Structure 1
Amino acid sequence: MGVLIETSTGWGNGMVSGIASYLDDCGESWNVFLEPRGKFEPLHIPKGWNGDGIIARVNNAELAEEILKAGIPCVNVSWYDYGEGTIARCTLDEEESGRLAAKYYLNKKYSYFAYCGSPWRPDYEDLFGRAYSQYLQTAGYTCHTYPAPGIDRQQPWIDQLRQLGTWLTKLPKPCGVLAIDTQTSRQLIDAAKFAELGVPETIAVLAGEHDELASGITRPKLSMLDNAAHSVGYNAAQLLDRIMRGEANRGELVTIKPTNVISKKSTDWTVLSDERLMRALRFVRDNFHHPIQVADLAEQAGISRRLLEQLFDRHLEITPSKQILLVRLDEAKHLLDRSVLAMSEIASRCGFDSPEVMCRAFQRELQLSPTKYRQTRRGG
């Protein structure tokens, strides 16, 4: 089996890890062809290679034609739909991902929004950005979109920053900006700094893909949509296995739902007029893995518990204890999706008193157990 996926990104690594997990679970002894590849490097079927199946990021027409000509069963894990109906596809739900990003900013009480696509994807029909914009419009807001054709890849780096910085300067503030990927997001942050715009208090930046390395090297650290690379890889391997066994057709489509946003410093701003409430929210973000209580939030905010509860209800329509729970659940979902950690370890890392407490929270909020959640994300 051939894996034609770049290994230079967190997304690619997570995808390959998901494929490996499927092989572990199903007991398959596939001989896997995999080579190191860059994100925008053209991928091809190796000359002389005659395998039984392919999992590939089919991001160009030439690769799609190669696959169809070879007649080898393939699962495309890209948002590109080359070979639609003839090459199976397993990918993150683009439109639901865009809507999740919009909900994230709306929950942070933003009123101004923008979207920036990528000049490195000239043939991509941007359903992700369109869904983000449409959801905001349905909620009564305008989404400012970076004007086509976007950044010229041949431009000097400093000119690209000036161009982006000029656009950011003209946006209403404070503005929540969504970018399609980590590369574009990092460029937005650089452009904001160049234009002397604070991130995140003036311009918040959210990346539409997950890459821990890219986030960690960015200052401020980059918030990212969890694009469930491990789950996509796992389900893609499962789909390919079914196709090779004759149990699925070669044009099948499997979409994986996004789960949450991994919040870092680049969106660490809630558009609220009350600094006391913001101190409480930051405290939850930084300390959810500890056994914190509502009283601890009130102490950090410098107010009584009763006033804190009133502020949460007035501005966020949620209780402080529910806020703590939701942050813990988001981290638990992230670990269940991207790791093989035991339930006891996940519960401990997320601030739950025990695995049983975490299980009850999952049942109450998501109507399924943590084990079932993990199985569902992995096609079980």
Structure 2
Amino acid sequence: MHSHSPAHPRIHRIALLFNANKVYDRDIIVGIGDYLRSTRVTWELFLEDDFRCRLAGIEHFDGDGIIADFDDPDVADALRPCRLPIVAIGASYEDETAYPSQHPYVATDNAQLIALAYKHLIDAGLENFALYSVPVSPAHRWALERERAYLRLRQADQPNACAPDEIYRGLATSAMSWNQSSAQLIDWLRALPKPVGIIAVTDARARHLLQACLLADLAVPEQVAIIGIDNDPLARTLGRIPLSSVIQSTEEMGRTAAQLLHQMLGGVRLPGHRVLVPPVGVNALASSRHQPLSNAYVMRARHFIRQYACQGIKTEQVAAYVGISRSALEEHFRRDLGCTVHQAILSHKLDVAKEMLARRDASSSDVAVRSGFTSLQYMYTVFRRELDCTPREYQERMTLSVRA
């Protein structure tokens, strides 16, 4: 027993049973940390570096409480005999009996996650929809909930519209099945009516879609608009086309769970207490910015520009990719978009530079190189002409708007 006094509150030993390799789990842990920093609570935290070891002997944990990921059935099973105060975190369920009755439970609202993604695709002007899920397994009960939420929305919209192949689960991610998985995913994508908006149940699945579209030469977002769930920075950095995603309130879930455990450590009993946490909103990026275009030449050209503009491509290379003369492509761009091919390339570079400056993760000279400008001076010239400010002034403006 730790000695404690009003000046030195008791230190509680708390286990956090999460997989810190996943952005969802990491952000929940961040929320728990936020709660600890904003209160006088003092917890000594057990968080296993290698998540595969986190359950070894957990039933013998000599501590005071546990916050755990109950989406993982192994965690729920391992904690069944445990008599310590436990706060469970996991997916929301339509079936009330799916929740643990003996513990308080903080849930991400699956129905709201899917509803936000679906509305975003509708707002983009799409009329065909699909869902890319994961294979059925005890660890993927949350994905089944997202499938059911999607089906409810589709049937409410158009009772007879949902085709049987609108939901595709694919294969589990593994080195052995990767080529087969990609080939089957491409077959499914090619068979869907176009243009189509696809909701992926995670950002990892959304990234698979982006890669498959690239291999299949399907233009994103003109033919296939994609939105994931998690807002994972890693998924955004691994593709040429920035990925739209629904932002979960994971940090709020962590703060809520920490507050509930704090109350339980003070003697409050909360069996069966549930808190449903809605998502924050949508981070809308290029993968879902669908603009209805009937011109196949312009659609293919924009697909190529989005992937390679920052590598210094010229109008001739875009025309060669599309398969028509430069003058013919320019005519299509003027008629459909009211700009030249060069202006479209420059506009994409400018968007990339603006995004990098807003994130403040690189110097101006790095931004110039990575967004495809031939020099820092040229980037300054374009910013002055198009935005009436320097890159640094733009960065300061963005910083002030975030603070406001």
How does the TM-score come out when normalised to structure 1?
Answer: 0.68
Deviations, residues 283-305 of structure 1 (Å, cap 9, x unaligned): 99887999xxxxxxxxxxxxxxx
Offset, 1:147: 5.3
Query: What's the C-alpha RMSD, in Å, of the aligned pairs?
Result: 3.3
Counterpart of 1:138 in structure 2 is 156
Q: Equivalent of 1:186, from 203, 207, 210? A: 207
Distance 2:266 2:397 in 1: 38
1:58 matches 2:67: no
Distance 1:44 1:173 in 2: 46
Counterpart of 2:315 in structure 1 is none
Offset, 1:83: 5.4
Instruction: From the superposition, tell whether residues 257 and 4 of structure 1 become closer, same or farther in structure 2 (CA, over 3 Å).
Output: same
Offset, 1:45: 5.8
Say if 1:101 and 1:132, in contact at 8 Å, map to a contact too.
no
Counterpart of 2:170 in structure 1 is 150
Distance 1:222 1:180 in 2: 13
Unpaired stretches in structure 2, ≥5 consecutive residues: 1-13, 295-335, 359-394
Counterpart of 2:380 in structure 1 is none
Counterpart of 2:107 in structure 1 is 91
Instruction: From the superposition, tell whether residues 236 and 64 of structure 1 become closer, same or farther in structure 2 (CA, over 3 Å).
Output: same
Could you tell me which amino acid in structure 1 is paired with residue 171 of structure 2?
Answer: I
1:210 matches 2:199: no
Offset, 1:119: 2.2
Could you tell me which amino acid in structure 1 is paired with residue 129 of structure 2?
Answer: F
Distance 1:50 1:223 in 2: 43
Structure with higher Rg: it is 2
Instruction: From the superposition, tell whether residues 66 and 350 of structure 1 become closer, same or farther in structure 2 (CA, over 3 Å).
Output: same
Counterpart of 2:91 in structure 1 is 79
Could you tell me which amino acid in structure 2 is paired with residue 58 of structure 1?
Answer: F
Say if 1:45 and 1:67, in contact at 8 Å, map to a contact too.
no
- Tell me the percent identity: 25
Q: Equivalent of 1:113, from 105, 125, 129? A: 129
Distance 2:53 2:217 in 1: 37
Q: Equivalent of 1:36, from 44, 49, 55? A: 49
Distance 2:227 2:137 in 1: 18
Could you tell me which amino acid in structure 2 is paired with residue 127 of structure 1?
Answer: E
Counterpart of 1:270 in structure 2 is 291
1:364-379 alignment, distance < 5 Å = none
State the SS of the aligned residue for 1:161.
helix
Say if 2:103 and 2:270, in contact at 8 Å, map to a contact too.
no
1:304-323 alignment, distance < 5 Å = none
How does the TM-score come out when normalised to structure 2?
Answer: 0.64
Distance 1:138 1:350 in 2: 42
Say if 2:71 and 2:89, in contact at 8 Å, map to a contact too.
no
Q: Equivalent of 2:181, from 149, 160, 166? A: 160
Could you tell me which amino acid in structure 1 is paired with residue 118 of structure 2?
Answer: A
Could you tell me which amino acid in structure 2 is paired with residue 84 of structure 1?
Answer: P
Unpaired stretches in structure 1, ≥5 consecutive residues: 291-344, 356-380
